[in-house]
Amino acid sequence: MRVRMAPSPTGSFHLGSARTALYNYLFARKTGGKFVLRIEDTDQKRFVEGAEREIIDSLDWLGISPDEGPHLKGDFGPYRQTDRMKIYREHAEILLNSAHAFVCFCSPERLSQVREQQQKRKEKPRYDGLCRDLGSDEVAQRKENGERHVVRFKMPEDGSTSALDHLRGEIVTENRYLDDYVLLKSDGMPTYHLAATVDDHLMKITHVFRGAEWLATFPLHVQIIRAFGWDEPIWAHLSVFLKPSGKGKMSKREAAEAIKDGHSIFIKDMGDLGYTPEGVLNWIALMGWGVAEDDVMSLDQMVERFDIDNLTPSPAGINFAKLDHFNGTHIRLLSPEELATRIKPIYIQAGYSVDDSTLMAIIPLIRERLVTLDDCLAFGGFFFKEKVDPVPEELIAKKMDAAGSAEIARKILTILETLPEITHASAEEPLRALVEELSLKPNQVFGILRVAITGQKVSPPLFESMEIIGREKVLERVRNAIGILGNI
């Protein structure tokens, strides 16, 4: 089995493309086949520099790299369509010779005029067939004269085209609704329709999983393949992604705004936002794939369970809450060592100097609190700081004033100073005794201490944290807090 992902380098690699790639990858692995990356760069106007690099990088980041592609070896190259121009011209020639295509000299101006008139008459705009039956002599002559021309597919005028989509079944379209689509543009470049069908055949693609936006020209592609007399691949048109509400597609503006909430539909942003490849993969896998149970899956598990019969044709709303869920779940599935190597760069980038033993020590304290990897800053940044800067007001316990809180802090200090070592085991008992003695809520006493030690109201468990921070710094931070409370 051979499958392919054929993006055009015209913009950022997004969720939809990623899922198409994933399904292709899963199918290839499942069947022991090959996953091919082909760059469809025939549209020079929309070409974006660096987009191909981003596609490859995104695939690598996700861990679903292709087996063949422009950056890899392979027996079916070249894998970039602009490097295959000769092939397309030859194949256009074949269709011309078999009368499945014709040369068309109509100017864009004439075509838009025709369209206008058709629309005025409430007809469907389509090519009016002026050049459909030009004699070969005339064609040769006009070409000789240097007239600009394209090659169009000669769509049968009668009958209908039946195409089989694996997810939807038979899709029947009457040929009179189909157009004489352009195959070769006047600049010599092929259109998608020619290039993709030719390449899929030459690259021996057996299954085409592509976006549902191709459904409209699906009959055309089937027609082209039949005109060549080739075997068809199995087709599956994957549903589109909708905005979170499930109503309508996400606009460019909405996509840009998602970033402000820490979300993105672009794979290149995922790492920076603290998402893991495992989480993202699991998330997109389940948009359009009905998995009955145990839906937390590793890539290997997905390969094992993937089945194109379980794919759904209906559109799926993008649900970022679910991404958070899968991300957190996969973070907790990581080994402590693996998690450490992933968050270490985040601390370093934030300017902390990180020693590995402290890092390993805090992993058990923060791992189940992380939704995204960069949450490690919020939950564990204070471990690596020389000193913390509590917000004065936050040091004041509930239902108490600054003086009262300072008083408690002093009592805490006294207790901690008597301890030769501050550990979970040694500190908990005396501090709880203090809570009893003052008849306060644990929350009040520990709250003061928490803010003093960590500089924040929400943190990993207190006693374990103090143990890691060490006696010296703990005492210093408590004294500092007492000072702050005294100045309020």
Partner RNA sequence: GCCCGGGUAGACGAACUAGGUAAAGUCGCCAGACUUUCAAUCUGGUAUAUGCGGGUUCGAUUCCCGUCCCGGGUACCA
Residues catalogued as catalytic: 252
Give the per-residue contact string, 298-337, with RNA (x = CB under 7 A; - = no): -----------xx-xxxxxx-x-xx-xx--xx--x-----
Residues 372-411, interacting with RNA (CB under 7 A): 379
Enumerate residues 109-168 that contact RNA by CB under 7 A. Answer: 111, 115, 122, 124-126, 148, 150, 168
Among 94, 171, 259, 415, binds RNA (CB under 7 A): 171
Cβ at position 449, least distance to RNA in Å = 8
CB of 398 to RNA, least distance (A): 10
Exposure string for 31-54, b = 16+ CB within 10 A, e = fewer: eebbbbbbbbbbeeeeeeeebbeb
In whole angstroms, how close is the CB of 436 to RNA at the nearest point?
12
**Pick 227 or 370: Cβ nearer RNA:** 370
108 binds RNA (CB under 7 A): yes
Two tokens at 32?
Answer: 């022991």
Binding-site member from 368, 393, 429, 436 for RNA (CB under 7 A): 368
Q: Which stretch binds RNA (CB under 7 A): 3-11, 252-260, 352-360, 413-421?
A: 3-11
Size of interface with RNA, in residues (CB under 7 A):
95
- 265-294 positions binding RNA, by CB under 7 A: 286-293
d(CA 377, CA 366) in angstroms, rounded, equals 10
Q: How many CB atoms lie within 10 A of CB 481?
A: 26
Distance CA 402, CA 209 (A): 65
Q: Choose which of 179, 269, 272, 476 interacts with RNA (CB under 7 A).
A: 179
Closest to RNA by CB, 50 or 290: 290
Under rule CB under 7 A, which residues in 187-246 are in contact with RNA?
187, 189, 191-192, 212-218, 237, 239-240, 242, 244-246
Tell me which residue has tokens 């705004």.
257
* 42 is an interface residue for RNA by CB under 7 A: yes
Beta carbon of residue 37, minimum distance to RNA (angstroms, whole number):
13
Q: Which amino acid is at 277?
A: P
Which residues in the 346-365 window bind RNA by CB under 7 A?
none
Contacts 24+ apart (CB under 8 A), 66-72: 66/5, 66/25, 66/35, 66/36, 66/37, 67/28, 67/34, 67/35, 67/36, 68/34, 68/35, 68/36, 68/37, 69/36, 69/37, 69/38, 69/39, 70/37, 70/38, 70/39, 72/37
CA–CA gap between residue 367 and residue 363 (Å, rounded): 6
- The nearer residue to RNA, 349 or 443, going by C-beta atoms, is 443
Using CB under 7 A, which of 3, 26, 40, 390 touches RNA?
40
Could you give the CA distance from residue 339 to residue 363 in angstroms, rounded to a whole number?
8
Residue from 10, 98, 298, 341 in contact with RNA (CB under 7 A): 10
Nearer to RNA, 186 or 301 (CB): 186
C-alpha distances in Å from residue 76, one per residue of 38, 68, 205, 209: 10, 8, 10, 19
**Which CB, 29 or 367, lies closer to RNA?**
367
Distance from C-alpha of 235 to C-alpha of 207, rounded to nearest angstrom: 6
Query: Distance between CA atoms of 138 and 146, rounded to whole angstroms?
Result: 12
Minimum distance from CB of 362 to RNA (Å)? 13
C-beta closer to RNA: residue 63 or 248: 248
Considering the complex, state which of residue 291 and residue 361 has its C-beta at the smaller distance from RNA: 291
CB of 309 to RNA, least distance (A): 5
User: In the stretch 66-105, what mask flags binding to RNA with x, by CB under 7 A?
Assistant: ----------------------------------------
Task: Rule CB under 7 A: say whether 31 interacts with RNA.
Answer: no
